[in-house]
Structure 1
Amino acid sequence: MARTRMDWTGDVAAGNWLRQRIDGDGPTWGASMHAWVPRGFEAYARIFHPADRDRPVGRPWPPLPYAHHQREWAAFQSAAPQIDIERVSWAAAADAFGTTMHPQAQWHAVVGPREIEGEDGPRDAAGWRYSDPPAGELASDLVAAVTQTLLAHTTTPADGFVALWEGWGGLVGGLGFGPSRVLLAAAGDAGDPSADRHANFLATSVRDRFNDVFRKPTWQRGILDDEVSRGPRLRLPHRDHVLFRGDLAELADPEWPWQVPWRDAALVARGGAASALDPNAVSPSLVWPADHAWVMATDVDADSTVIAGSSAAVRAVCADPRLEAVRIDEGTDLSWGADEVNA
C-alpha cells in the first residue's frame, strides 16, 4: 500500500510485533538496548548524537566557580565577546580529553566530570566548553541522512510507521489545571538567561494544592488535535507512543520538520520561542517500514540512536560520513555504567 503523506493512525496493532521483540517490564528492564530496540535482526548500529562546543574568540573563559568570580563574569558579559560554536563528534571529544572512543562509550565517561556540576560543561585544554549530546533526539539533518540510507534497504519505502513518545511537552492534550503548552514570547536572543530562567520556571512549576483545592481540571489542547490526543497509543514497556503512517520519504527530506503533522504550527505563528527557522518538531522515537526490514530507535533517555536491520543496511549506515556510527552486537548494554573502558 503506497502512502503519499504522513498521517496519524489509530491502528496501533501495527506495532505489536515490536512488543514481542523488546524486553518486557521487570527487574532486568533497561539492562540492554533491547528495552527499546527489537531483538532478532541480523545487525545493529549505534549512531552517536553529536554534541556542541563553544569558546570565546581571542580570550579565555572567566574562571569558575561563578560565585567566586562574579566580577570577572560580569566584565566578560559586558564585553560581549564573539563566541565560536560548532558541532562536535564523540571521537573528537575523546581526543580532546584523552579518553578512548569505543562502541559502548558513555558521554560522561568520555569527557570526565564537570568542573562545577550544574553550572558549566567540561572544558578541554584548548578552551572549548562542551554541552551534553541531546537525549531522546537525533538532529533533524541526521534523521534525514539515516532515512535516505535506509530507504534503499526496504521493499516498502512509501509505506512505513513513525512513533512519537507521548511525553514530549505539549505534544498531546489532556486534563490539567493550566495550558498544556506555553506560547512564550522570547525575552531575547537564544540563550538569553532571563528567557532560560523563565522557561525553566514554567517547566518546573506545579499547581497550588492549597488555593486550587476545589478547582476542577479542564481539557488542555496539545500540538496534535483532540482526536489524536484522545486516541489509542502504541504501548511499550514504560513508553507510550502516538503512531503515524505514511511515506517515509518525508523523513528523508531535510525539510521534514516543516512538513510533519506534529510540527507546532501555533508556536511558530506566535513568533515566540520558535520562528520560521525553528519548526519545533521533535525527532521520531521509532521508525520502521511496513515490511519490518529495519528499525530506527531513539529512546527518550538515550543520547544515541540504534539501527536494527540487515548487515547491508547497517554497513551502509556505518559508512555514511555524515554520521558517527559503529556496529554493535545484539544485547549490547548502553546504560550509564556500560563504559568500562573509560571508567
Structure 2
Amino acid sequence: MTMNFAGAHAAAWVAAAAQQARPTPTPEAQLPAAFESYARLFHPAVDFDGQPVRWAEIARTRGATFHAGAQFDALAGIDENGFALADDAWEGDPPRADGLPLSDLSALTDVLEEQTESAELYFALWTGYAFAGGENDGARMILSPAERADVLTLGEGGYQQYWVFSGTFADLRNPVWAESERTAERRAPDLVWPADRSWFVSTELFEDSTILGGSAELIAAVVAASAGERGAVEALRLEAGTRLDRDEVNPRDAHTAGGEAAE
C-alpha cells in the first residue's frame, strides 16, 4: 500500500458536516460542503457475458428515460429484488454495489487531475470490507493497532466507519489497499477529496452510483468526458436538491417508460 495513513483528524470537517446533514437523500445532503455544481456517476450493470452495460443503453432498449435522478430498478423494469415487472425488463445483473469500477475511477481521475491545483488527496476506506479485517488470498492491510482504532465515524450506529489516508492522483488511479506476492486488493475509495477541498467524491455504502460535487467547470468536464472518446464513465449533471431515493420519471409498472435518454 503506497498511501499514507492520515487518521480521522484529517477528516474532522467531514465528520462535523455529517452531524449537521439533513436526512433527505440529496447530493447536497450526502456531501460535507455545498458546491457550485454536482454530477452523478452511474455504476454499470452487467450482462450475461460479464460485460459492463451502461444505464443509458438499457434505457434506450426499453424506451425509458435516462436522467440524473433515475433509479435502476425503475429504469430497468424490475423490482427491488431484481424480479421483472415488465416483459421487456433488463435480464442481466444490476450494477454492483461495491463502489465505482476501477476503469470508471481511472477515467474520472484523469479529469479530476486536470481540474485540480492541489496535488495531495485524502481517501476514506470503509473498515467493513472483508480484506480490511484480515487477509484475502494472502493480501493483508498493514495497519498498527493504534491506526486500526483511529476511525472516522459518520452517521449513527457506528456502521459508517472509515480509515483515512493521504496520497496522490497516482494512488487514486491505482488504489492498492492490501497486497502480497500473489495478489493485490484494489477498489475505489468510498470518499475522496483534495487538500484544498475544491471537490468531493462520495459513494454511499452498497449504492449503485457515486456523487461528485465541485465547480461548474469540473462537473461540465466530467459530463463531457462521459460522452467523449474516453467515455469510460457515465455521468450526468445533478441538481443539488434531486432526490436520490426515488425515480420521479420512470413508472415502475409500465411496459415501457417513454421518452429518450437525457442529454
C-alpha change, 1:232 and 1:327, in structure 2 (3 Å) is same
Q: Is the 8 A contact 2:104 2:232 kept in 1?
A: yes
Could you tell me which of 66, 69, 90 is aligned with 2:55?
A: 90
Gaps of at least 5 residues in structure 2 are: 226-230, 252-263
Could you tell me which of 8, 11, 14 is aligned with 1:15?
A: 11
Residue in 2 that maps onto 1:106: 71
C-alpha change, 1:156 and 1:96, in structure 2 (3 Å) is same
Q: Are 2:255 and 1:323 aligned? A: no
Following the alignment from structure 1 to structure 2, what is the Cα–Cα distance between the partners of residues 85 and 282? Answer: 18
Q: Is the 8 A contact 2:122 2:167 kept in 1?
A: yes
C-alpha change, 1:144 and 1:152, in structure 2 (3 Å) is same
Partner amino acid for 1:317? V
Q: Is the 8 A contact 1:24 1:35 kept in 2?
A: no
Q: Are 2:154 and 1:154 aligned? A: no
Shift of 1:280: 2.9
Shift of 1:35: 4.7
Q: Is the 8 A contact 1:19 1:236 kept in 2?
A: yes
C-alpha change, 1:128 and 1:237, in structure 2 (3 Å) is closer
Following the alignment from structure 1 to structure 2, what is the Cα–Cα distance between the partners of residues 16 and 225? Answer: 20
Following the alignment from structure 2 to structure 1, what is the Cα–Cα distance between the partners of residues 26 and 19? Answer: 9
Q: Deviations over 1:57-104 (max 9, x none)?
A: xxxxxxxxxxxxxxxxxxxxxxxxxxx442110011112223211110
C-alpha change, 1:249 and 1:182, in structure 2 (3 Å) is closer
Residue in 2 that maps onto 1:164: 125
Q: Is the 8 A contact 1:8 1:228 kept in 2?
A: no
Partner amino acid for 2:191? L
Partner amino acid for 1:242? W
| TM-score w.r.t. length of structure 2 | 0.80
Q: Deviations over 1:157-188 (max 9, x none)?
A: 2x11011111112313xxxxxxx55759xxxx
Q: Is the 8 A contact 1:140 1:283 kept in 2?
A: yes
C-alpha change, 1:121 and 1:87, in structure 2 (3 Å) is farther
Following the alignment from structure 1 to structure 2, what is the Cα–Cα distance between the partners of residues 162 and 325? Answer: 21
Give the total of aligned pairs: 242
Q: Are 2:163 and 1:242 aligned? A: yes
Partner amino acid for 1:169? A
Q: Are 2:2 and 1:41 aligned? A: no
Shift of 1:281: 2.0
C-alpha change, 1:182 and 1:149, in structure 2 (3 Å) is closer
C-alpha change, 1:8 and 1:313, in structure 2 (3 Å) is same
Task: Give the 3-state SS of the residue equivalent to 2:132 in structure 1.
Answer: coil
Superposition CA RMSD, Å: 2.9
Residue in 1 that maps onto 2:228: none
Task: Give the 3-state SS of the residue equivalent to 1:230 in structure 2.
Answer: helix
Following the alignment from structure 2 to structure 1, what is the Cα–Cα distance between the partners of residues 137 and 86? Answer: 34
Q: Is the 8 A contact 1:50 1:90 kept in 2?
A: yes
Task: Give the 3-state SS of the residue equivalent to 1:130 in structure 2.
Answer: coil
Shift of 1:122: 8.6
Following the alignment from structure 1 to structure 2, what is the Cα–Cα distance between the partners of residues 31 and 23? Answer: 15
Partner amino acid for 1:341? V
Could you tell me which of 192, 199, 207 is aligned with 1:294?
A: 199
C-alpha change, 1:121 and 1:169, in structure 2 (3 Å) is farther
Residue in 1 that maps onto 2:151: 233
Following the alignment from structure 1 to structure 2, what is the Cα–Cα distance between the partners of residues 330 and 23? Answer: 19
Partner amino acid for 1:288? W
Following the alignment from structure 1 to structure 2, what is the Cα–Cα distance between the partners of residues 30 and 170? Answer: 32
| TM-score w.r.t. length of structure 1 | 0.63
Q: Is the 8 A contact 1:123 1:129 kept in 2?
A: no
Following the alignment from structure 2 to structure 1, what is the Cα–Cα distance between the partners of residues 222 and 46? Answer: 22
Following the alignment from structure 2 to structure 1, what is the Cα–Cα distance between the partners of residues 46 and 168? Answer: 32
